Chains A and B, each alone.
Chain A
Amino acid sequence: MEQDWLWGLAGGLLIGLGAAVYLLGNGRIMGASGIIGGLVDRSGWSSWAERVVFLAGVFLLPLLLVPLLDREAATHLTGNAAVVIAAGVLVGIGTRIANGCTSGHGVCGISRLSPRGIVATLIYIFAGGATLLALRHGLGVI
């Protein structure tokens, strides 16, 4: 669509506002992998309620907004279960070892000029591009 960049910018501003509320309100960095991962490995158990409520907001608002949207809401996720499982495991392990993902290292890290955030973002974008290059254009499997 022609206006995709405008929707992207508007959505991006909302994401940044959410991160600003979490930072200035609760003093926390809004990193999705850290918020989820802290519940999975119990390292963030002392703040479990805050994490669960945050994730409830992430889940519920799209649920409420989808019927109001004039566009289809679909993830277009591949139907190849092996690819989905491999991707999920890699995302889970990688974000926890690197201590951040697109929201923590990307949005929150780059905006404070964090060296780790900038380096991580460059690496995961490059790794994602290389993966698509190899598996889509090279082997033609995804």
Chain B
Amino acid sequence: MTRFLPDEFRIPAIGAGVIVLAALLPLFDDGFYLAMAVNIVLYAALCTAWALFSGPTHYISLATAAFFGLGTYAVALGNELLPFPLLVALGAAIAAVLAGFVGAATLRISGVYFVIFTLGLAELVRQIVSWAQVKWSTRMGLYVFTDFTEAHIYWMLLALTAAVFLTGWLINRSRLGFAMQIIGNDEAVARHCGIDTARLKIILFMISGAFIGMAGAIVAPRYLYVAPPSAFNPTISFLVVIMALLGGTRWLWGPLVGVIPFTIVMEFVSANFPNDTSIVIGIVFLVIVYVLPDGVTGRLEQLLARMRRTSTASKAATVKEAA
């Protein structure tokens, strides 16, 4: 691990400040805005965890629902038997193990094969869980009764998001992060440098899967009633990809930039056009694709570049005038 330089702590310090400010929200509102903040923080954690793996490797994973559902089920099945923090850890472990197996089986293939496989994986896990429930119990739905309020769930998700960001930051400045950068740019070159690409990709996929599993575990008490269709909802996988790509995955905070406007716009649409959400959302998507093809961060980069160009141009002009 590379040594820390005092300079490097500026960004995590800002991040910590933002998290502390965000943690104060439940003191001001415990109704709609808190409920919406829970959704934003949930997707912030999911999208950032997703981008930990998919950002540098450019593998589009649709397995989010599988990891998420396993975390939810860990809590639903064990809620009466084990303390909650242990169940969250268990959810993370189960999701990581699944990610490890899937990674070992599929990360040697790439492109569209990987996408299709991960999409099928979520459905496969759902079917296995349903089958197991049919075989060993006569109930399909499980109840998760806890004493957690919305504020508790919000704080837990916020802590998870902080952990995802911290992990992402540590990875980026580690040998693993450096290796991932090379793999992302050119996998053949990475292999020639002696990087064990398959192993590193599996490790990263497991870390990403574990965080997604934890998010599912934390949200389970909010569902209260857990059944396979809601825990393994494929919409989650797609929303995560859409929001992360909207933000852009080149930077750690890119997905966050996608999650916040996306959630607010969707909220605005569903509040004002309850009967035509599908149409309006479709139009919003078209606008996004045409106006922000590289995501919000890509657009910001462009704007910054343009501003720099104009400022150098004006500087050049003043220099000329002075001469």
Q: Tell me, yes or no, whether A binds B.
A: no
